[in-house]
């Protein structure tokens, strides 16, 4: 009945209050949801689209047994977050379907990030290098122009409206002529394809010149660098001749900011055993250098990091202790008025609160291998991700999808080497993940599990990836439940 008809009939445009409480008579039905213990007393309920609710654990069975009183606060919370449906909420299924579709939208966009390894040569000799760089003088480790052209043709086959080309190494600036060639050729191609085209160079900045900066300015190229912390830590982690890696990266950051603009330079850190006791120092270094975020990252099980045993020098529990010390410190900084973000937490918070999915390859279902990001190695081989080529440099080519000189787009994108791990990374069907309460926020990392367990699916009870993500998700939800000020800060980070 319309409001006008209602007003004509009853003299009021509003229904009687009882009309909104049909559920008092007819009860409720459960909508699909999962749950997991938050701590000794509380449970987290999550639904298909990532909405969550924390309840006292005693209420869980009551919810399932349909004995929650209609109109109670818990009932209304469960209803508004789509954990139950009653006769007053017929729109719920359509809303859930719409939200599910929005969350998965990124899959239909297909590959956005295209990584070009223009050279495996490097001027640094980092013991934790995960890509197994080669020394500077080996020209055999540079990508050729012919290969680059074929990679670009492949890139523009992607249906994605946004294409990001990221140059990696080694140290990509050692083959800057090829970067220039690729950027100019890509821009020419884009005159036809008209994509949202973006370039990033992942560089240690040690070889930055005015010529390079001028080219970056002209072509709106972003720079992503590595900064591991204060000078002594950075130099120890990232040695180079002259022991000046810190000095060079700081100079590079400042020069790049001055010419390209402050938003054009970002930095990443990697945690080594020497970092574990220095979370606050590392965050302070980022503050000192004018960054407003940090990505606290553990070492990955690839390349020299494994060979030199740096990867094995700490376990995930040690890293989590470091991470939480850093996170707590960052939240306290925010409480004091500094806006500063921990990026991994922000990615997870985005998954919790944003209608869109994340572009972060490791926290997608299916994993973003090939379908979100793809990598062209210097030698024309195509890999499902950056980690896949790291593994290949260790002699394991499980995730090599083909060769750009020998295989077509269709052959590469439909190869078993890509389709199998994608299928195995759908967390909705992975043992240990399929019924996990944190599933809507998580993903599967087939390459990590292949590297650590020789099994792309992996046993999640033995998985460092699972331990890390479960612990961080628990901590974030606890913070939001127990500390209203922290909740407000974390909500501010959850912006797509």
Partner 1 sequence: MSQTEDSGVRTSDDGSLLVLFDLRIYKISAIKKAAYKFASDCSVLLKQLSVDQLEAHLSFSDNTDACAKKIIARAFCNEVIDQDLREQIAQETEATRNLILAQAFSKTSLLTQE
Residue 315 binding partner 1, by CB under 8 A: no
Q: Which residues are CB-contacts of 184 (< 8 A; sequence separation ≥ 6)? A: none
Name the residue nearer to partner 1 (CB basis): 102 or 190.
102
Contacts with partner 1 in 375-434 (CB under 8 A)?
431-432
Cα–Cα dist 407/165, whole Å: 21
Residue 26 binding partner 1, by CB under 8 A: no
Name the residue nearer to partner 1 (CB basis): 80 or 406.
80
Residue with tokens 């000095």: 247
Contacts with partner 1 in 323-362 (CB under 8 A)?
none
SS3 326: helix
Residue 258 binding partner 1, by CB under 8 A: no
Q: Residue 487 class from Cβ within 10 Å (0-12 exposed, 13-18 middle, 19+ buried)?
A: middle
Cα–Cα dist 293/276, whole Å: 19
Closest CB 308 distance from partner 1, rounded Å: 27
Alpha helices in 243-315, H assignment, sequence order: 245-260, 279-288, 304-307
Helix and strand totals (H; E) in the chain: 21, 15
Cα–Cα dist 307/184, whole Å: 38
Residue 257 binding partner 1, by CB under 8 A: no
| Member of 37, 41, 309, 495 binding partner 1 (CB under 8 A) | 37
Cα–Cα dist 400/156, whole Å: 20
Alpha helices in 336-397, H assignment, sequence order: 343-353, 386-392
| Member of 7, 30, 243, 491 binding partner 1 (CB under 8 A) | 30
- Axis-axis angle for helices 316-335, 279-288 (nearest 10): 50
| Member of 32, 337, 395, 484 binding partner 1 (CB under 8 A) | 32
Name the residue nearer to partner 1 (CB basis): 404 or 433.
433
Q: Residue 396 class from Cβ within 10 Å (0-12 exposed, 13-18 middle, 19+ buried)?
A: middle
Q: Which of 211, 185, 273 is nearest to 199 (CA)?
A: 185
Residue with tokens 């973000």: 341
Element (H, E) at 170: none
Closest CB 350 distance from partner 1, rounded Å: 20
Q: Which of 188, 330, 350, 208 is nearest to 269 (CA)?
A: 330
SS3 101: helix
Residue 448 binding partner 1, by CB under 8 A: no
| Member of 25, 29, 138, 220 binding partner 1 (CB under 8 A) | 29
Closest CB 102 distance from partner 1, rounded Å: 9
Cα–Cα dist 237/241, whole Å: 13
Residue 51 binding partner 1, by CB under 8 A: no
The contact pattern for partner 1, residues 456-475, with x = CB under 8 A and - = no contact, is ---xxxx-------------
| Member of 31, 200, 283, 413 binding partner 1 (CB under 8 A) | 31
| Member of 23, 28, 35, 46 binding partner 1 (CB under 8 A) | 35
Name the residue nearer to partner 1 (CB basis): 192 or 461.
461
Contacts with partner 1 in 221-250 (CB under 8 A)?
none
Contacts with partner 1 in 53-112 (CB under 8 A)?
60-61, 64, 85, 90, 93-94, 96-98, 100-101, 104
Closest CB 32 distance from partner 1, rounded Å: 4
CA Rg, the chain, in Å? 25
Residue 52 binding partner 1, by CB under 8 A: no
Closest CB 461 distance from partner 1, rounded Å: 4
Q: What does the binding site for partner 1 look like in residue numbers (CB under 8 A)? A: 29-35, 37, 48, 60-61, 64, 85, 90, 93-94, 96-98, 100-101, 104, 431-432, 435, 459-462
């Amino acid at each position: 009945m319309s409001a006008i008809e209602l007003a004509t009939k009853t003299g009021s445009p509003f229904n009687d209050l009882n009309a909104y409480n049909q559920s008092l008579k007819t009860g409720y039905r459960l909508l699909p949801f999962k749950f997991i213990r938050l701590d000794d007393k509380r449970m987290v309920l999550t639904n298909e689209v990532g909405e969550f609710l924390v309840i006292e654990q005693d209420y869980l069975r009551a919810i399932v047994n349909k004995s929650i009183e209609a109109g109670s606060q818990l009932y209304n919370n469960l209803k508004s977050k789509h954990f139950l449906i009653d006769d007053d909420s017929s729109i719920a299924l359509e809303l859930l379907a719409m939200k599910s579709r929005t969350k998965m939208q990124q899959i239909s966009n297909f590959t956005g990030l295209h990584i070009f390894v223009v050279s495996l040569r490097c001027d640094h000799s980092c013991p934790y290098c995960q890509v197994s760089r080669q020394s500077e003088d080996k020209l055999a480790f540079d990508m050729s122009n012919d290969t680059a052209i074929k990679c670009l043709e492949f890139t523009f086959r992607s249906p994605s409206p946004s294409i990001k080309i990221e140059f990696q190494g080694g140290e990509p600036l050692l083959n800057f002529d090829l970067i220039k060639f690729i950027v100019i050729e890509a821009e020419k191609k884009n005159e036809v394809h008209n994509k949202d085209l973006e370039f990033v160079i992942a560089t240690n900045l040690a070889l930055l010149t005015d010529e390079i900066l001028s080219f970056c300015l002209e072509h709106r190229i972003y720079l992503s660098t590595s900064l591991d912390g204060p000078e002594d830590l950075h130099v120890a982690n990232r040695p180079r001749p002259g022991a000046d890696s810190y000095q060079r990266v700081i100079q590079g950051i400042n020069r790049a900011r001055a010419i390209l603009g402050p938003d054009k330079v970002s930095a990443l850190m990697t945690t080594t055993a020497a970092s574990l006791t220095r979370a606050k120092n590392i965050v302070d270094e980022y503050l000192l250098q004018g960054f407003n975020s940090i990505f606290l990252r553990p070492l990955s099980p690839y390349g020299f990091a494994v060979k030199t045993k740096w990867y094995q020098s700490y376990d995930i529990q040690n890293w989590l202790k470091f991470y939480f010390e850093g996170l707590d410190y960052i939240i306290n900084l925010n409480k004091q008025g500094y806006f500063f973000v921990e990026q991994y937490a922000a990615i997870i918070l985005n998954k919790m609160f944003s209608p869109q999915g994340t572009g972060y390859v490791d926290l997608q279902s299916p994993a973003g291998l090939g379908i979100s990001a793809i990598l062209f190695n210097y030698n024309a081989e195509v890999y499902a991700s950056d980690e896949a080529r790291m593994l290949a440099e260790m002699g394991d080519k499980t995730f090599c999808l083909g060769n750009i000189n020998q295989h077509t787009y269709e052959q590469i994108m439909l190869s078993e080497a890509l389709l199998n791990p994608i299928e195995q990374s759908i967390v909705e069907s992975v043992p240990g993940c399929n019924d996990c309460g944190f599933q809507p926020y998580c993903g599967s990392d087939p390459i990590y599990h292949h590297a650590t367990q020789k099994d792309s699916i992996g046993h999640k009870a033995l998985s460092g990836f699972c331990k890390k993500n479960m612990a961080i998700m628990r901590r974030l939800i606890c913070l939001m439940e127990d500390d209203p000020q922290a909740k407000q800060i974390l909500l501010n980070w959850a912006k797509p």
